[in-house]
Structure 1
């Protein structure tokens, strides 16, 4: 029985290592493409949008789906009402599902802009059916535009956003366009800095995916959609909590083109509390994993070159890979106890895993700093320590995605919890899943600490670096939890 358990643990370990190796090599390829285009416009479409003028500007509907966003809704409305765009060709719909003071704030601000001639309307529903997806579907049914520009409540787009993006749609096959995102509170703490870097890395990689014509997973905010494309796809689907990714996948499978304009940047706000961060990432993991499996059959039926199919698989199942890293954490204790890594296969498999982790970490951190536009000068020691902490933070993320994947497996697709931002996040009552995730953090920290002690006791040192890094990652989020609870008394 023990031999069977040992064999099973080794088999799972090696499967994850092979999966991780393929992912790292594919990402490295895209990373190198991103570097080649870093000093020039990112796509041919982006070239045409620079200073472009078109003969006839189309009618654009700006959709602002909001829900209880009293701290940021007014500045969002101000920003889109100051768009530079031909008069009479812009309508703004504030799609308000709020149940608090946000509604009155939005109404008053909309009336102020309407009084100076802006075409802006506040759209209320009788219920929140379908959450954000349902809100957007309701909005487009009441819109008149040929294109939809969409912004979440915490975004502040630049005034020339439409002048730089709409000319790209002269290509009739361009279905949607994503722009860059910056974060105004990225330097509040290492937690916000990590998030800015992690999502900056995603943006940097998307540069290469876009340039190479590969499948990408794009955000649902600070983007523009062609109405014809949305109508052809049947609109947003409320069966998943990542409705934006779902629609993007369907568009790409439908042979619509996408463009990514990293140089057009809207500012946003990151979660500042670890509780907000937890529930956001569990929701993202659940939705991304659900979307991946939901569309895998359609992806496999598409005719595409092998390298593009591999990138599609890598994109759609990167969340599954992250969740599987947590499986390695769970396996570390039995592997340390039962397996002495005497065989060359396991020994080299372990060396390969750590070698790939280092390669991925360095590439990821470099791309993250470029993508997030960090240009601060730091000492080599500080930079190395922050890079290590950056890598360590992916291990708590693996736990959140693991929980999200398990919940998706059991059919929990629509359990949507808005991510509170700013000081408001200290006053929000967190959903029950936050407690579950916190309990898992405590367990993971203690479990890995025991694995470290067992490794030293048995002279089995191969997985100690992994377990130490797990303790660092989970130790950080537990420390931030303690700080957050002390801060609650101030609010």
Structure 2
């Protein structure tokens, strides 16, 4: 029995290492493309095509509907509506729809703000449903059914678009094959704590890599907000689908697999807000992991049926299953104890597998952190020791995130696809009632921390040191989130 467990653990370990190696090499390729294309060709085309604000000719501008899906967003709803009403665009061609699914005082605030702007001549109205069927996806579908625009600009409640957002994005759609367009995202509260800085870097890295993916014509994952959709594209795809909690990613996959092109404009930046509490962050990432893994498997067969070059297919698989890879890292954490106990790493395969894994982690960590700082637009003065330490902490935070994605993947496997929880942003997270999944994820963090402590102890006792760096990094990452949980609990008690 022990021999079978040893063989199984080694096989899974080597499979994950090989999978990780392919992912790292593909991401490195895209990263190098991104470096060469700091300013994308399509972005330059937009700047050359966009007319001055004083241009009086409006026949070239199509009608646009701005969609603002909200749900209990009293802290930011007024700011969102004000920002949407500041968008520069021919007034007779622009409408703003506040899609309100709220059950609290948000509706009253939104109504007052809508009435205020409507009185000033802005074409804006509030749309409220009788029920929340389909959650955010259903809200958006209901909104587009009542819109008149040929294009939809979508902004979540915590977003503030630049005033020239439409002037810079709509000209791109002169290309009739362009189905949707994603823009850059910045974060107002990125420097509040290491947690917010990590999130800004991690999503900044995704944005930086997307530059290379779009330049190379590879599949990419849509962020869902601060984006523009062509109405004929959305109609052809049947709109947003409520069968997944990442309805934006699902629609983006369907568009790209349906022969629609996408564009990414990194230099058009809308500001947003990040979760500041660890409970809000872990609930958000479990939901993302669940939806991304579900979407990946949901569209995998369709992707295989598409005709595409081998390199593009590899990038598509890598992108669609990056969440599965992250979840599989948690499987390595679970295997670290039996591997340490049963395997001496004397064989060439396991020994070189361990060396390859840690070498790949270093390569990926450095590339990821560099791209993250570029993507998040951090301009700190270089400090080698500080940067290396922050890079280590940055990498260690992916291990708790692996647990959230693993939990989300397990829930997706058991058919939990529609359990949607709004993510409170900023300091709003301290005062909300968190769903029960938070306690499950917290318990998993505690167990994983002590599990890795035990793995380090066993490795030390057996003088089998190969996986100690992994387990120590697990303790660092999970130790941070547990400390933040304790810290948030005390802040909540004082508020």
TM range (shorter): over 0.9
Question: Could you list the per-position Cα deviations for residues 161-196 of structure 1 after superposition, in whole angstroms to 9, with x for gaps in the alignment?
Answer: 000000000000000000000000000000000000
2-side partners of 1:48 and 1:287: how far apart?
33
For residue 137 of structure 1, what is the aligned residue in structure 2?
141
1-side partners of 2:229 and 2:22: how far apart?
32
Runs (4 or more) in structure 1 with deviation over 4 Å come to none
2-side partners of 1:479 and 1:428: how far apart?
20
What is the CA-CA distance between 1:382 and the residue it aligns to?
1.2
2-side partners of 1:207 and 1:234: how far apart?
28
1-side partners of 2:386 and 2:59: how far apart?
53
Question: Could you list the per-position Cα deviations for residues 211-234 of structure 1 after superposition, in whole angstroms to 9, with x for gaps in the alignment?
Answer: 000000011100000000000000
| Structure 2 residue 371 is matched with structure 1 residue 373 | no
Contact 2:282 2:404 in 1 (8 A): yes
For residue 274 of structure 2, what is the aligned residue in structure 1?
270
For residue 42 of structure 2, what is the aligned residue in structure 1?
44
What is the CA-CA distance between 1:49 and the residue it aligns to?
4.1
2-side partners of 1:73 and 1:484: how far apart?
25
| Structure 2 residue 236 is matched with structure 1 residue 238 | no
1-side partners of 2:440 and 2:37: how far apart?
43
For residue 212 of structure 2, what is the aligned residue in structure 1?
208
What is the CA-CA distance between 1:55 and the residue it aligns to?
5.1
2-side partners of 1:225 and 1:154: how far apart?
19
For residue 14 of structure 1, what is the aligned residue in structure 2?
14
| Structure 2 residue 344 is matched with structure 1 residue 340 | yes
For residue 460 of structure 1, what is the aligned residue in structure 2?
464
User: What is the TM-score of this pair, normalised by structure 2?
Assistant: 0.98
Q: CA RMSD in A?
A: 0.9
Contact 2:42 2:265 in 1 (8 A): no
2-side partners of 1:210 and 1:47: how far apart?
15
1-side partners of 2:351 and 2:207: how far apart?
35
Contact 2:42 2:263 in 1 (8 A): no
For residue 32 of structure 1, what is the aligned residue in structure 2?
32
2-side partners of 1:454 and 1:377: how far apart?
41
Question: Could you list the per-position Cα deviations for residues 370-402 of structure 1 after superposition, in whole angstroms to 9, with x for gaps in the alignment?
Answer: 000000125221111110000000000000000
2-side partners of 1:438 and 1:334: how far apart?
24
Contact 2:43 2:267 in 1 (8 A): no
2-side partners of 1:25 and 1:164: how far apart?
34
Residue 295 of structure 2: SS of its match in structure 1?
helix
User: What is the TM-score of this pair, normalised by structure 1?
Assistant: 0.99
Give runs of aligned pairs for residues 310-321 of structure 1, distance below 5 A: 310-321=314-325
What is the CA-CA distance between 1:422 and the residue it aligns to?
1.9
Contact 2:328 2:402 in 1 (8 A): yes
Question: Gapped runs of 5+ residues in structure 2?
Answer: 52-57
Residue 228 of structure 1: SS of its match in structure 2?
helix
Pick one of 394, 398, 420 that aligns with 1:416. 420
Contact 2:183 2:268 in 1 (8 A): yes
1-side partners of 2:102 and 2:46: how far apart?
39
2-side partners of 1:112 and 1:48: how far apart?
33
For residue 71 of structure 1, what is the aligned residue in structure 2?
75
What is the CA-CA distance between 1:424 and the residue it aligns to?
1.7
For residue 101 of structure 1, what is the aligned residue in structure 2?
105
Question: Gapped runs of 5+ residues in structure 1?
Answer: none
Contact 2:46 2:169 in 1 (8 A): no
Residue 91 of structure 2: SS of its match in structure 1?
coil
2-side partners of 1:397 and 1:408: how far apart?
16
2-side partners of 1:479 and 1:451: how far apart?
21
